[in-house]
């Protein structure tokens, strides 16, 4: 069985001390006893400080990396750098990277290769625009993003990829995909990975849902067979709501 996985993506929010206080209050509420893997994706500058409050069972994710090892790339951060401060995951291909910072599928694919080569687990984000859904091409769009994102990735490396389905129209809007719509997409993704790799890799693949996940909708979403967890934005910035999300099965 796939163990549930829930990650809070803080995006460009919280100072280092605000982040530390948030993490401390979440961990102090006893969530480590829950049957869920969880963790945080703070901004780069907070990674090393947040790591001090985590143990090996927690996930510490960076929100991005660059695909080169090092060099003259002003403003960029490498895989080795985030590894050196204790990160074990990296979020790649987030819709905000794709749309605001114009990251192409090709660039995202290079980053995926670099991350898994360095031993990081990748959360590869995919998701359609509202216009794709209205045109009925949401599945095609998402599967194309996956095919290009994991292009030329061998099966052993694919085992270190988690996919996050985040419909762009549901991010930060308060609109959530219905459980049935999300489940249909997650099932299509698993079927696609099964064909692209193998049934075993598809069976073990964790597929997270993201887009206005809140304490009020997490239980319903998590009851779907192919929804293995969540990538939470806004509701992860508050200890009370994130803890309620982690306790989704209560
Ligand atoms: P919200 O939960 O704020 O909609 O953000 C979702 C998201 O983009 C997580 O990566």
What string of DSSP letters covers 183-229? Answer: HHHHHHHHHHHHHHT-HHHHHH--EEEESS--TTTHHHHHTSTT--E
8-state DSSP, 120: P
Q: What is the pLDDT of residue 250?
A: 80
**Ligand 1 atom closest to Cα of 171?**
4
pLDDT, tens digit, 9 for 90 and up, residues 113-131 = 999 999 999 999 999 999 9
Length of the chain: 250
Q: Which of 94, 113, 138, 183 is catalytic?
A: 94
Ramachandran quadrant class, 119 (left: phi over 0; alpha: psi -120 to 50; beta: rest): left
**Ligand 1 atom closest to Cα of 172?**
4
Q: What is the pLDDT of residue 22?
A: 98
Q: What is the pLDDT of residue 164?
A: 98
Strands 121-126 and 161-165: parallel
**Ligand 1 atom closest to Cα of 213?**
2
The predicted model gives 193-213 an average pLDDT of 98
Per the structure, how many domains does the chain have?
1
Annotation says 186 is catalytic:
no
Question: Which residues of 24-120 form beta strands (DSSP E)?
Answer: 37-41, 59-62, 89-92
Give the angle 196-161-138 at the CA atoms, nearest 5°: 60
Pocket test for ligand 1, best of 6, 8, 9 (most atoms within 8 A of CB): 9
Cα gap 56→250, rounded to integer Å: 25
Question: What is the domain extent for residue 36?
Answer: 5-246
pLDDT, tens digit, 9 for 90 and up, residues 65-97 = 999 999 999 999 999 999 999 999 999 999 999
Q: What is the pLDDT of residue 54?
A: 97
* 217 and 176 Cβ atoms separated by less than 8 Å: yes
Q: What is the pLDDT of residue 33?
A: 81
* 128 and 141 Cβ atoms separated by less than 8 Å: yes
Q: What is the pLDDT of residue 175?
A: 87
CA dihedral 41, 3, 160, 59 (to 10 degrees): 30
Distance from chain centroid for Cα 245:
15
Annotation says 94 is catalytic:
yes
Q: What is the pLDDT of residue 13?
A: 98
Give the side-chain half-sphere CA count within 13 A for 246.
24
Pocket test for ligand 1, best of 99, 213, 216 (most atoms within 8 A of CB): 213
Q: Is 135 helix (H, G, I), strand (E, B) or coil?
A: coil
The predicted model gives 146-173 an average pLDDT of 97
CATH number at residue 73: 3.20.20.70
Cα gap 62→47, rounded to integer Å: 7
pLDDT, tens digit, 9 for 90 and up, residues 22-61 = 999 999 998 878 789 999 999 999 999 999 999 999 999 9
Q: Is the pLDDT of residue 1 over 90?
A: no
Q: Which residues line ligand 1 (CB under 6 A)?
A: 9, 94, 166, 171-172, 210-213, 231-235
How many other CB atoms are found less than 10 A from the CB of residue 74?
A: 4
| Summary mean pLDDT of the chain | 97
Q: Is the pLDDT of residue 10 over 90?
A: yes
């Amino acid at each position: 069985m796939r163990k549930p996985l829930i990650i809070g993506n803080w995006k460009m929010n919280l100072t280092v001390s605000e982040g530390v206080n948030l993490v401390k209050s979440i961990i102090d509420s006893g969530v480590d006893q829950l049957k869920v893997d969880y963790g945080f994706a703070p901004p780069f500058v907070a990674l090393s400080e947040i790591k001090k409050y985590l143990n090996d069972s927690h996930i510490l994710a960076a929100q991005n990396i660059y695909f080169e090892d090092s060099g003259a790339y002003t403003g960029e951060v490498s895989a080795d750098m985030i590894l050196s401060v204790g990160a074990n995951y990296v979020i790649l291909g987030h819709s905000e990277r794709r749309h605001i910072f114009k990251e192409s599928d090709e660039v995202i694919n290079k980053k995926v290769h670099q991350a898994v080569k360095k031993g990081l687990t990748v959360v590869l984000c995919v998701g359609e625009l509202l216009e794709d859904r209205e045109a009925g091409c949401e599945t095609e769009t998402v599967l194309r993003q996956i095919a290009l994102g994991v292009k030329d990735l061998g099966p052993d490396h694919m085992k270190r990829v988690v996919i996050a389905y985040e419909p762009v129209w549901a991010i930060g809007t308060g609109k959530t995909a219905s459980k049935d719509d999300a489940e249909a997409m997650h099932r299509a993704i698993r079927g696609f990975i099964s064909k692209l790799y193998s049934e075993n890799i598809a069976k073990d693949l964790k597929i997270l849902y993201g887009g206005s996940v809140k304490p009020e909708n997490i239980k319903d979403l998590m009851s779907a067979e192919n929804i293995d967890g969540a990538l939470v934005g806004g509701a992860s910035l508050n200890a009370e709501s994130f803890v309620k999300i982690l306790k989704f099965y209560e």
